[in-house]
Chain A
Amino acid sequence: MSQHNPALLILTALPLVGALAVFSLREAQAKLAKQLSLAVSLAVLVYTMVVLFSFDTKGDRFQFVGSWTWIKAFGVHLAFGVDGIALVLTAMAVLLVPAVILASWNALDSRAGSEEAATASGRRRSVKNYFGLILLLEFFMIGVFTAMDVFLFYVFFEAMLVPMYFIIGSFGGPRRQYAAMKFFLYSLVGGLLMLASVIGLYVTSSVKTFSISELIAHPMPDNTTQKWLFLGFFIAFAIKAPLVPFHTWLPDAGAEAPAGGAALLVGVLDKVGTFGFLRYCLPLFPDASRYFATPVLILSVIGILYAAFLAIGQRDMKRLVAYTSVAHFGFIGLGIFAFTTQGGTGAVLYMVNHGFSTGALFIVVGLLIARGKSRNVDDYGGAAKVTPILSGMFLLAGLSALALPGMSTFVSEFLVLVGTFTRHKGLAVLATTGIILAAIYVLYLYKRTFQGPVTEKVTRFHDLNAREVFAVAPLIALIVFLGVYPKPVLDVINPAVKQTLVNVHKSDPTPKYGTAAGGTK
């Protein structure tokens, strides 16, 4: 590890510098704070695109590797590097951030943009802190995806809680204290279990290092210790993902967080959990991963069905979207632990798509709530006639959530199901019913809010303005584009997924009836 490529270090540091600059502004400079945050997030986006397009899909697994000694006594390095999986997730995260910033532009300091009706006490909220926290969160998000050192990853993983905690707690809905505390404690418990495993990994490994590439090269012997260490990592990621039965914090956090924060929470933060499965659980503990695969697959399928049923029954729109995410995470878990190339690739693509799709859905729901000042579905109706653009965006985001063919989510869901089917037929069949349930919760929600007779309240709604369209439209465009032509992304993801499966000592089963449909052959 003597490479010193600073590309990713700069990328990680960029939002941190931006965050510090925004925090150092005065409270009165709210407008400047917004503009600065947007500029920084766009700069990060452009920079990431440059990195993305200079990634060599036929090159080494980990590229742009840069490593500097951080804490010599523990053998900890400031090591950055990306493989295909990390790269597309980073790109997804940095794309979502400007969208969120645009969408929350007026969410705090104008009556029209706020999600809550103005109260007598008039809670004053710090605009610059909100945007500063979002940039700080972006710093941790990029760090967590690009870290190539387990210790460094852990630091980002845990520290990421703090800005999100403040975003929920300071800027959230009426039950924000409860939701923020629940979010933090759930994640912290998972994080501490992972800390035990991180230490255990270091102490018991033969190479005494935190470097991921070296740890992958020297896998641990198959024994009970490996299983325990796997569980430490797994539970932390399962809470983060969240996988049923560790999911109960997400509906609360997702519902109480401001819509922009919720989009980042569900769109990006939760991907860290599934990313962790792929990057840490599988390659570092291959034998334990195979040992625990079946229970994880079963939990995933339970999650798909159970969360979908709960989503159908929700009246709180944000809670509903949060539950749909739990169901989607079931699909991702299924794809990862099926140990097939299609499944793995599908799962990674699913993570990216889900970031865009749920991000867009949360943003659109937030815009609707800002107009109606209520999260309750029953307060709306017939809005399509009054706000056609909002309605269209809502429908497109919703259709992407139910994986309509032509949307990128369809490609990933299909890949996951095919990948699962080649190994676990029964589970794949059960999971497929989740698609029907998804259609129910999305269309039912759309019907209750945008169709039907126009309620009196809705007649006063304004349609989306240009800024709001700019926040959502690129996400929708990407979803459609990747739905029609997913190849560029799949090309980036595929080698890394194959490599991961080699680490787990699993190869695709030989197809009995011709070749299974795959992304790229």
Chain B
Amino acid sequence: MSALVSVAAAAPVPTITTPSVAYLALLPIFIVLGAALVGVLVEAVVPRTERFAVQVGVTLTALVAAAISTGALHNKTLTTPSPRGSDPFFRGSLAVDKAGLFIQGTILVLAVMAALLLAERSVDVGSPIVASSATVVGSPEDKRLAASGRVQTEVFPLMLFAVAGMLIFPISNNLLLMFVALEVLSLPLYLMAGMSRRRRLLSQEAAVKYFLLGAFASAFFLYGIALLYGYANSVDLHDIFIAANTSTKSDVLLYVGLALLLVGLLFKAGIAPFHSWTPDVYQGSPTPVTAFMAACTKVAAFGAILRVLYVGFSSTSHDWRPIVWAAAIASMVVGAIFGLTQTDIKRILAYSSIAHAGFILVGFLASTADGTPNKDGIQSVLFYLLTYGFTTLAAFGLLMVVRDADGEATHLSQWSGLARKSPVVAAVMTVLLLSMAGIPLTSGFIGKFIVFKAAWHSAGPLVVIALVTSAVAAFFYLRIVVMMYFAEPPEHGPTIAIPGWSTTIALTFGTVVTIALGVFPQPIVDLAGKAAHLTT
């Protein structure tokens, strides 16, 4: 908001006319941002002993309220500030439409689950979150704090800020606003990545890596905006769309601008060849944060990709489709092949998420074939994002309960014979992995089916590659199952911690959704079908 005001102030018009904003349609964003500010205040005024409970309460209440208000808005289709409002520069820069609301709703429900994982206090002393991230690693103070129940509760407002950014990101019709949203969602994530309680150096390394690479990606994104502004004299997606059809300027600016823009977007979605940060960051981050990043960030980033390419560049789809084709293939292949060589389950899941991003791109390509909007394609992307989000979030969440003296036991060999120790954990993990592999009667199968069905005509060869890579990826999912069920447990294997109420709810919900969407997908498929509409 502050960026909005400052730009308006710099305009040559001496009097500032306030744009008319449809505040009601932005209610979910305001709730989350408001709660984030409340969270900051809580840090300042509430005593430390009470803080955790209060923060969890504020966060969950806000996210649930925002999710409900998103649901209440489901029929809204509008752009705000009002179409030809008093401020020509930012008119219509936020598009609240059905696809946008579906993505916001998905992000919010997933964020509720991620918040529940963050609220976990039973499996480790304190929480998976560090007591004080500013303390030097290994110092006496650090050791003292690690043994205490103290927790850095700032993680909750940070998460809310990130969610707010994610809510704005996919509904931005204006590239500058989209950039602001990108930063609002990214900066808290950089911090959260470094807040792991165990293996702090690895976590901090992950944070720095993520920050540096993310900063580069943001710079690319910004440079792209600048070039596009040079081409279209506007950063509004609608204006760029018109300029691409009518402009007599050289198209070099348009294409280079779009290419740079794509670098930023593909980076956030963790799509090859801009995926290299994913395994390191996913591995180093505290597991609830990893779950949050893997699920929510990816949904938001795909929402943004959908909007940018669909709204702004659908008329030039012939020119960028080959690039997205290549990215989809690269992502599927890299995810599947490199996943094979991993021995750490967190890294395996990271590569799996890269491969899944490739599958989603296949559906996305179906939605933009021949420059005409294809409802089936958008529907498939929306549905796949939802199924992927729930399954991935639950899978990462489950990693928290398998522990040894050093914290989470994520090495593949440590999971051998796990089914003997805890049939429930092994069974849940198996369901989630089978879903990722796309075995029928799980949500993953319906997701793959709907994507491949949509893409059959417009991207047939991609469907074949997707099928081949799913077979390859199935190998490493199965390897975990083999370890859990068919191998002998090691002498001093990890223990299964009993998770607290919040984690239990989140894991149960994720697993139930994974099975339910595999057996009765009809309502959500319909919902995604109804939501397959973007305001252009």
Q: Which residues of A contact B (CB under 8 A)?
A: 70-74, 121, 123-124, 154-156, 158-159, 161-162, 166, 169-170, 176-177, 180-181, 184-185, 188-189, 192-193, 195-196, 199-200, 202-203
Closest CB-CB distance, A30 to chain B, in whole Å? Answer: 16
Establish whether residues B453 and A162, one from each chain, have CB atoms under 8 Å apart when the complex forms: no
- Given A71-B522, A185-B478, A195-B452, does the pair A162, B485 have CB atoms closer than 8 Å? no
> Which residues of chain B in 431-453 are interfacial with respect to chain A, using CB atoms and an 8 Å cutoff?
434, 437-441, 445-446, 448-450, 452-453
| A residues less than 8 Å from B434 (CB atoms) | 162
Task: List 29 contacting pairs A-B, 8 Å CB cutoff, sorted by A.
Answer: A72-B522, A73-B525, A73-B526, A74-B449, A74-B450, A74-B453, A74-B525, A121-B488, A124-B420, A155-B440, A155-B445, A158-B439, A158-B445, A159-B440, A162-B434, A162-B439, A166-B485, A169-B485, A169-B486, A176-B486, A181-B478, A184-B474, A184-B478, A185-B471, A185-B475, A192-B438, A192-B468, A192-B470, A203-B456
Asked if B249 is at the interface (CB within 8 A of a chain A CB), the reply is no
Alpha-carbon distance between A180 and B475 when the two chains are bound, in angstroms = 11
Q: In chain A, what residue has the closest Cβ to B440?
A: A155
Establish whether residues B488 and A180, one from each chain, have CB atoms under 8 Å apart when the complex forms: no
> Which residues of chain B in 235-271 are interfacial with respect to chain A, using CB atoms and an 8 Å cutoff?
none
> Which residues of chain B in 159-188 are interfacial with respect to chain A, using CB atoms and an 8 Å cutoff?
none
Establish whether residues B482 and A169, one from each chain, have CB atoms under 8 Å apart when the complex forms: yes
Establish whether residues B521 and A71, one from each chain, have CB atoms under 8 Å apart when the complex forms: yes
Establish whether residues A181 and B482, one from each chain, have CB atoms under 8 Å apart when the complex forms: yes
Establish whether residues B486 and A170, one from each chain, have CB atoms under 8 Å apart when the complex forms: yes
Interface centre among B434, B439, B475, B486 (most CB of A within 10 A): B486
Closest CB-CB distance, B431 to chain A, in whole Å? Answer: 10
| A residues less than 8 Å from B453 (CB atoms) | 74, 199, 202-203
| B residues less than 8 Å from A181 (CB atoms) | 475, 478-479, 482
Q: In chain A, what residue has the closest Cβ to B486?
A: A169
| B residues less than 8 Å from A124 (CB atoms) | 420
Establish whether residues A192 and B471, one from each chain, have CB atoms under 8 Å apart when the complex forms: yes
| A residues less than 8 Å from B450 (CB atoms) | 74
| B residues less than 8 Å from A123 (CB atoms) | 488
Closest CB-CB distance, B92 to chain A, in whole Å? Answer: 32
Closest CB-CB distance, B420 to chain A, in whole Å? Answer: 8
Closest CB-CB distance, B96 to chain A, in whole Å? Answer: 25
| A residues less than 8 Å from B463 (CB atoms) | 196, 199
| B residues less than 8 Å from A184 (CB atoms) | 474, 478
| B residues less than 8 Å from A193 (CB atoms) | 467
Interface centre among B420, B467, B470 (most CB of A within 10 A): B467
Establish whether residues A199 and B470, one from each chain, have CB atoms under 8 Å apart when the complex forms: no
Alpha-carbon distance between A6 and B441 when the two chains are bound, in angstroms = 21
Closest CB-CB distance, A74 to chain B, in whole Å? Answer: 7
Q: Mark B456-469, 1 if CB is under 8 A from A, else 0.
A: 11000001100110
Alpha-carbon distance between A202 and B453 when the two chains are bound, in angstroms = 9
Alpha-carbon distance between A170 and B427 when the two chains are bound, in angstroms = 14
Closest CB-CB distance, A160 to chain B, in whole Å? Answer: 10
Alpha-carbon distance between A181 and B485 when the two chains are bound, in angstroms = 12
Interface size class of B (residues with CB under 8 A): 35 or more
- Given A158-B440, A180-B486, does the pair A199, B525 have CB atoms closer than 8 Å? no
| B residues less than 8 Å from A180 (CB atoms) | 482, 486
Number of A-B contacts (CB under 8 A): 83
Q: In chain A, what residue has the closest Cβ to B464?
A: A196
Closest CB-CB distance, A476 to chain B, in whole Å? Answer: 34
Closest CB-CB distance, A496 to chain B, in whole Å? Answer: 27
Alpha-carbon distance between A51 and B470 when the two chains are bound, in angstroms = 40
List the 3 shortest-distance A-B pairs measured between CB atoms, nearest first: A155-B440, A192-B467, A73-B525
| B residues less than 8 Å from A202 (CB atoms) | 453
| A residues less than 8 Å from B456 (CB atoms) | 199-200, 203
Q: In chain A, what residue has the closest Cβ to B455?
A: A199
Option from A72, A121, A156, A195 in Cβ contact (under 8 Å) with B449: A195
Q: In chain B, what residue has the closest Cβ to A193?
A: B467
Establish whether residues A195 and B486, one from each chain, have CB atoms under 8 Å apart when the complex forms: no
Alpha-carbon distance between A158 and B445 when the two chains are bound, in angstroms = 10
Task: Give 16 new A-B contacts, CB below 8 A, not counting A74-B525, A155-B441, A195-B452.
Answer: A71-B446, A71-B521, A73-B521, A155-B445, A159-B439, A159-B440, A169-B485, A177-B487, A181-B478, A181-B479, A185-B478, A192-B471, A199-B456, A202-B453, A203-B453, A203-B457
Asked if B529 is at the interface (CB within 8 A of a chain A CB), the reply is yes
| A residues less than 8 Å from B482 (CB atoms) | 169, 177, 180-181
Closest CB-CB distance, B94 to chain A, in whole Å? Answer: 30
Establish whether residues A177 and B486, one from each chain, have CB atoms under 8 Å apart when the complex forms: yes
Establish whether residues A73 and B478, one from each chain, have CB atoms under 8 Å apart when the complex forms: no
Closest CB-CB distance, B29 to chain A, in whole Å? Answer: 31
Q: In chain B, what residue has the closest Cβ to A157?
A: B440
Option from A185, A188, A196 in Cβ contact (under 8 Å) with B452: A196
| A residues less than 8 Å from B441 (CB atoms) | 155, 159
Q: Mark B302-336, 1 if CB is under 8 A from A, else 0.
A: 00000000000000000000000000000000000
> Which residues of chain B in 485-532 are interfacial with respect to chain A, using CB atoms and an 8 Å cutoff?
485-488, 521-522, 525-526, 529
Closest CB-CB distance, B356 to chain A, in whole Å? Answer: 16
Q: In chain B, what residue has the closest Cβ to A124?
A: B420
Closest CB-CB distance, A472 to chain B, in whole Å? Answer: 29
Alpha-carbon distance between A170 and B430 when the two chains are bound, in angstroms = 14
Alpha-carbon distance between A194 and B479 when the two chains are bound, in angstroms = 23
Q: In chain B, what residue has the closest Cβ to A186?
A: B471
- Given A73-B522, A121-B488, does the pair A199, B449 have CB atoms closer than 8 Å? yes
Option from A159, A170, A196 in Cβ contact (under 8 Å) with B485: A170
Alpha-carbon distance between A321 and B297 when the two chains are bound, in angstroms = 53
Alpha-carbon distance between A12 and B463 when the two chains are bound, in angstroms = 32
Alpha-carbon distance between A199 and B466 when the two chains are bound, in angstroms = 14
Alpha-carbon distance between A189 and B474 when the two chains are bound, in angstroms = 10
Option from B467, B474, B487 in Cβ contact (under 8 Å) with A185: B474
Establish whether residues B529 and A73, one from each chain, have CB atoms under 8 Å apart when the complex forms: yes
Alpha-carbon distance between A417 and B482 when the two chains are bound, in angstroms = 43
Alpha-carbon distance between A330 and B213 when the two chains are bound, in angstroms = 58
Alpha-carbon distance between A170 and B479 when the two chains are bound, in angstroms = 14
- Given A73-B526, A203-B456, does the pair A154, B485 have CB atoms closer than 8 Å? no
Closest CB-CB distance, B482 to chain A, in whole Å? Answer: 5
Closest CB-CB distance, A102 to chain B, in whole Å? Answer: 26
Alpha-carbon distance between A450 and B195 when the two chains are bound, in angstroms = 69
Closest CB-CB distance, A129 to chain B, in whole Å? Answer: 9
Alpha-carbon distance between A199 and B446 when the two chains are bound, in angstroms = 12
Alpha-carbon distance between A176 and B481 when the two chains are bound, in angstroms = 13
Alpha-carbon distance between A202 and B468 when the two chains are bound, in angstroms = 20
Q: In chain A, what residue has the closest Cβ to B419?
A: A170
Alpha-carbon distance between A159 and B445 when the two chains are bound, in angstroms = 11
Q: In chain A, what residue has the closest Cβ to B379?
A: A73
Alpha-carbon distance between A121 and B489 when the two chains are bound, in angstroms = 11
Closest CB-CB distance, A132 to chain B, in whole Å? Answer: 12
Q: In chain A, what residue has the closest Cβ to B434?
A: A162
Alpha-carbon distance between A202 and B454 when the two chains are bound, in angstroms = 11
Closest CB-CB distance, B290 to chain A, in whole Å? Answer: 27
Alpha-carbon distance between A121 and B488 when the two chains are bound, in angstroms = 10
| B residues less than 8 Å from A177 (CB atoms) | 482, 486-487
Alpha-carbon distance between A189 and B453 when the two chains are bound, in angstroms = 18
| A residues less than 8 Å from B440 (CB atoms) | 154-156, 158-159
| B residues less than 8 Å from A156 (CB atoms) | 440
Closest CB-CB distance, A180 to chain B, in whole Å? Answer: 7
| A residues less than 8 Å from B437 (CB atoms) | 188
Alpha-carbon distance between A196 and B455 when the two chains are bound, in angstroms = 11
Alpha-carbon distance between A199 and B451 when the two chains are bound, in angstroms = 10
Interface centre among A180, A188, A192, A200 (most CB of B within 10 A): A192
Alpha-carbon distance between A124 and B522 when the two chains are bound, in angstroms = 42
| A residues less than 8 Å from B479 (CB atoms) | 181
Q: In chain A, what residue has the closest Cβ to B442?
A: A159
| A residues less than 8 Å from B475 (CB atoms) | 181, 185
Establish whether residues A195 and B529, one from each chain, have CB atoms under 8 Å apart when the complex forms: no
Interface centre among B439, B445, B479 (most CB of A within 10 A): B439
